[in-house]
Structure formats: structure tokens, C-alpha cells
Amino acid sequence: MKLNNIILVPTDFSDPCANAADHAIKIAQIVKFKVALFHVINKDTESLFAGEKDINVAVENKLKHLVSELKKQNQGVEIDYMFQEGSIFDLIHEVADDIGANMILLGTHGKKGMQHLLGSYAMKVITKSKIPTLVVQKKPYSGYKNILLPVNSFTEPRQKVGIAISVSKMFGSTIHIFKEVLKDPGEMSRIEIITKQIAEAFNKAGISFEVFASKIPGETAKELVEVAVAKNLDAILMVTDSQIGSSVFSIGSWNEKLLFNEAQIPVMCVNPIEYGQIYFDF
């Protein structure tokens, strides 16, 4: 897939989606990307624009207004819009492919919103993505200078290292490596090896980082968010995997706890892909 330096922002016209658009604009200003707003017309759209004679016209006028307001506040970023009738689960990724988007920026109310993308439904969108998905709630953009990187026994170091280095260079970030602690010696040994490999790669690339470990086995997700809050970190970067991993780091409740964390810390999700894919070229 050819990438065209575009950030795709699906919107249901809610406040979190407006915040996602603002995050996208701020990021686009830094990396010189374009932003594309996208609305999927479905039953929720019909409810939102009840009474309108022509739903398509109403949606397009709303999108034009959003683009106009964003351009007033953020000079220099090219912003476009699109809309299409169908399923969120299919169309978001089809459009991302068609336009060559480098990233999807998804706004959510936590476990509500984004046209009812609740819990596993949101995960369904995220885990189908070929490109990184940055999930934000209502927390305003404040930069991404400090990013938390969880490391576990099934982490693919090449995958995580490449994304973390790109993100760090993009924002001038310090990466905070958070090691899962397990009782199994073999699994713990693997985590130590992976952490060492990541640290070596960061040193070679000139990336600022620190390493610390979880303290309570089995409570990693909860502790991870607490640490992110205590350290005032700006985002969490995780590589998802729907097939392998411990019960703590699986695709289900662990990821949902991170994605919909009460601290509203943005979470960047990356699905395992063929190595060598470049999302952000520096």
C-alpha cells in the first residue's frame, strides 16, 4: 500500500471526534501531513439529522463547516473531507487504503461513542487496521513528549522498535519502557532479552529512554495506567495481537483497560505487520 502522508479522522460529529481532529491537525503541523475527515452514514446519522430532507447534503454541509472552523484555527494544514454510506467496520479501512493514510485518529467517549464503538467493537476497528490507530478521548492535545512502551513476553522487538523510534523522532519524545514482571523464569528471561534488544536499538538510534518494571504480577494494565498518570506521560504505545500473549496482555480486557483508561491518556495501537513497513519516513 502506497502511503500519502495523510491522517484519517473518522467523525460522528461528537466532542471526542472533534478533539481527535484537533490532535490530527497538531500532529499534521509537525510532520507536514494532510488531514482527511470521514463520516460513515448509517442509522446513527439518520437520528442525528432527523428532519433533514437530504441526509447527504446535511452531512456534507456539516463536514464543510468543520473543515472551515479547523482551517481558521490551524493555518497551513491541508484538510479534506469524505462521507459514504455503509458499515464503519469496513469503510474506515477501505478509505484508509484508498487514500493511502499513514494513521487513523479515532475519537471515543471511553466505552461510549464513535457511533457506538463500544469495547470489543472499537477493538474490531483497531485490530483490522493496517496502519497505526491513535485513540483519544476528551483530553486536549498537549504534545507527545513522553510515551510509555509496554514490553511483555510476546513482544516482537523489531515491530515495536521501529514504531517507537519513528514516533520518538516525530515528537522529540522520551520513551518510557515498562517491563511486565512474571513469575515464570523462562518468560521473564524472554522479557529481559527483549528489553535489552530494544534498549540497544534506542541507543543506536539516539532515542532518549528509561526502563522500569511492574511490581504486581497480574495487575500490569492497572499499574501501567497508574504509572503513566504518576509520571504525567502523554501517550501509551502498544502492539496488539489477537492470537498470542498472556492473559494479562491479551487483546481483550487488558487492551480495553488501556484504550478506555479513565485518565484519558491517548493510546497508539499498532497491529503486527510484515516487517519493513514505514508509516512515518524520517
Q: Please give the average pLDDT of every successive group of 10 residues along the chain, which has 282 residues.
A: 90 91 94 95 90 94 95 88 92 95 86 46 76 90 93 69 88 92 86 91 96 78 84 88 42 63 87 53 41
Of 136, 157, 184, which residue constitutes the final position of a domain? Answer: 136
Paired sense of beta strands 235-239 and 6-10, if any: unpaired
Return the ∠ at Cα 76 (arms to 34 and 140), rounded to 5°: 75
Query: 202 by DSSP, 3-state: which?
Result: helix
Q: Are residues 124 and 153 in the same domain?
A: no
DSSP letter (8 states) at residue 234: -
Residues present in the chain in total: 282
Half-sphere CA count of 139, side-chain side, radius 13 A? 20
Q: Are residues 152 and 129 in the same domain?
A: no
Q: Give the chain's domain count.
A: 2
| Domain extent at residue 193 | 146-270
Of 136, 163, 185, which residue constitutes the final position of a domain? Answer: 136
For position 162, which CATH number holds?
3.40.50.620
Of 112, 136, 160, which residue constitutes the final position of a domain? Answer: 136
Q: Are residues 28 and 86 in the same domain?
A: yes
Q: For residue 111, give every residue at least 6 positions away whose Cβ sits within 8 Å of its Cβ, in sequence order, or none.
A: 118, 119, 256, 260
Q: What is the pLDDT of residue 261?
A: 81
Asked if residue 200 belongs to a domain, the reply is yes
Q: Are residues 165 and 255 in the same domain?
A: yes
Q: Are residues 166 and 101 in the same domain?
A: no
Q: Are residues 153 and 93 in the same domain?
A: no
Q: What is the pLDDT of residue 241?
A: 57
